Structures are given as C-alpha cells and as structure tokens.
Chains A and B, each alone.
Chain A
Amino acid sequence: MNSSVIVFPGSNCDRDVAVALEKLQFKNKMVWHKETELPKSDLIVIPGGFSYGDYLRSGAIAAKSKILNEVVKAAKNGCLILGICNGFQILIETGLLKGALLKNKKLKFLSEDVYVKVTNNNNKFCKNYNTDQILKLNIAHNEGNYFTDNNHIKELEDNNLIVFKYCSIDGKIGNEFNPNGSLNNIAGILNKEKNILGMMPHPERMIDNIISNDDGIALFSSLLKQ
C-alpha cells in the first residue's frame, strides 16, 4: 500500500502521520508542495499544521499550490484522500469537500482531548471501527467550526457522509459536548463518492498507548488492502 503525505511550509503534523503510516507498513513518501508529480499512491494524506501561516483563510493558499492540482486529479480518479485538521481546511478550499470551517465559536484556539463518535463505519476509512464506537482524540485548531447550507446537510445525512461527531464520554451528542460550535456536532465528513475524508481531530496523535491512546490506529489500519 503506497501512501504520500503532502508537506507545506507550516505543516507540523506531517511526520506524525508518517510515523502512523509506517507503523502499519505503508510505503510512505513525503511530497513537497512544489512538486508537480505525485509518487504512485493509494492514499494521500494532507496533514495538519498552519500551511502558509493561515494567510488569507486557513488552507486557501495551500489549495492553490502546484501539488494540489495533482491531488485533485487523483481524487477525481478515486484515490483515497485523508485531510486532517489543516488538511480538512485545505480540502474544503479546493472544493473537494463542501462547506466551510469557521472560527471556533468561542474564538479560542482549542488544544484538548475530546470524545468523538463514529457515526457510520460503512466506508473505507472507518471499517475497522464499530458504528457508535466512542474515540478519545486530540483536537488542536482555531477554525474547526463546520458550516454548510441546509441542502448539503441533508445530502450528508441522507448518504451517511457524516462519519465523526463530537460527543460526551458516553456518546451523548449535544451542544455541551461540541467544542467549537460545529453544525450538528460534525467532526468529520466524506465526499459523496466516499473516497475523501476530512476531519478536525488528529487520529495520528492517538496511535500508541505509551504517549496517548491508540484510538486513532484503526483509521489507518482500515485503509490497508485486505
């Protein structure tokens, strides 16, 4: 299984993702944003960080970088794409995922562990989780407040495209367990073809019990070819 991690000036979770992928024996390559060709990839990860210093809007400049043209082409050909945190913001800015990520409702940068429910495991990214499984994952963002229009929310719900929702330790979904004001507690969504996942929490930070937990590992293992 070949993977690529895209690296921008300001990316800071790229190496963590690489560690997670290599732990699962992915053959991983790091790809600098100025490259015009992608190595052969079954999975492309756009990692977290502050690409281009979050200038203009988070992810806006990265979305127009040379390598992103190739990522968009690969995405349209069905390649698996995972955008985490700033990677999610970049996917939104490319238009590969719909909606917008606004400033956190309380205007504070959030860096904390939160509980997230796997609302649907019927997709390639979550097949090693159970539906309704509760994960403890880390978030670290300033713009994670997902927003979209009513038609798109309906499309997301009707097609089971919302895969992660913020919840309480025992899985209750409500405003009080919503860290950033995200619409319907949304923490991660798929595109309609289900080959692109964007999520604000960081699964790559949860791959080892020694430093955190391993709630994130099943996301990466789900992507391995069986």
Chain B
Amino acid sequence: MKLSVTITLKKDVLDPQGKVILQTLQNMGMDSVKNLRQGKFIEIEINENDEKLAIEKVEEMCKKLLVNLIIEDYQIKKLK
C-alpha cells in the first residue's frame, strides 16, 4: 500500500519560504493568490494491506521521525 504524508509548518509558525513564493507569484501578475504555505511531501510504500493499520504505522513514523510536532502539522493520505 502506498501512502503520502504532507508536512507543513503550523499556522502560528512563520513560513518565510512560503512568503517569498507568494510574493514572487504576485509579482508575476498572479494576484489572485491570497495565501500560500509550503511544506514537504513524502511517499511511503508499506507492507500492510489493512488501511487502518497502515495509517497507524505511518502515524508512528511521523511522530518519531518525519515530523517535528512543535512546529509542523501533517496529513496522511492513502495513494493506492
């Protein structure tokens, strides 16, 4: 089973990279962009057929290594 983890900085944490990307898009004339947060995307292939268990395992990976819970939020999704 393949799952993805999307990691972004928490709302209250300043995201200077996101800010620069936003400003650049606006400078390029795409002024409909209102807000932008950038982050990381991790694709994980896991030996587990049960979706619930697979998500639990990825959750553990997030908490122990992939995510810094003080400053980052994460979202797990099943890919296929």
Q: How far is the CB of A141 from chain B (nearest CB, A)?
A: 15
CB distance from A116 to the nearest CB of B (A): 23
- Chain A interface size, as a band, is 10 to 19
Contact A56 B70, beta carbon cutoff 8 Å:
no
B46 at the interface (CB under 8 A from A): no
Q: Do residues A102 and B71 form an inter-chain contact, with CB atoms below 8 A? A: yes
In the complex formed, the residue of B with least CB distance to A105 is B16
Can you list, as one digit per residue, whether each of A161-194 has a CB less than 8 Å from chain B (1) or not (0)?
0000000000000000000010000000000000
Cα(A147)–Cα(B20), bound, Å? 20
In the complex, whether A64 has a CB less than 8 A from a CB of chain B is: yes
The closest CB in chain B to the CB of A98 belongs to B70
Contact partners of B71 in chain A: CB under 8 A: 100, 102, 147
Q: Is A29 an interface residue (CB 8 A)?
A: no
Could you show 20 A-B contacts with beta carbons less than 8 Å apart? A56-B65, A57-B68, A60-B68, A64-B65, A93-B68, A98-B70, A99-B70, A100-B68, A100-B71, A102-B14, A103-B16, A105-B16, A106-B16, A107-B16, A107-B17, A107-B20, A147-B13, A147-B71, A148-B70, A149-B70
Contact with B along A83-120 (1 / 0, CB 8 A): 00000000001000011101101110000000000000
Within residues 15 to 70 of chain B, which ones have a CB less than 8 A from any CB in chain A?
16-17, 20, 65-66, 68, 70
Knowing A100-B70, A100-B71 are in contact, say whether A105-B14 is a contact too (CB < 8 A).
yes
Most chain B CB atoms below 10 A, which of A57, A105, A147, A149: A57
CA distance A103 to B14 in the complex (A): 9
* Minimal Cβ-Cβ distance residue in B for A103: B16
* Nearest Cβ on chain B to A115's Cβ, whole angstroms: 24
CB distance from B42 to the nearest CB of A (A): 9
CA distance A37 to B19 in the complex (A): 45
A103 to B16, CA, bound (A): 8
Nearest to B67 among chain A residues (CB) is A57
Q: Which A residues from 47 to 85 make CB contacts under 8 A with B?
A: 56-57, 60, 64
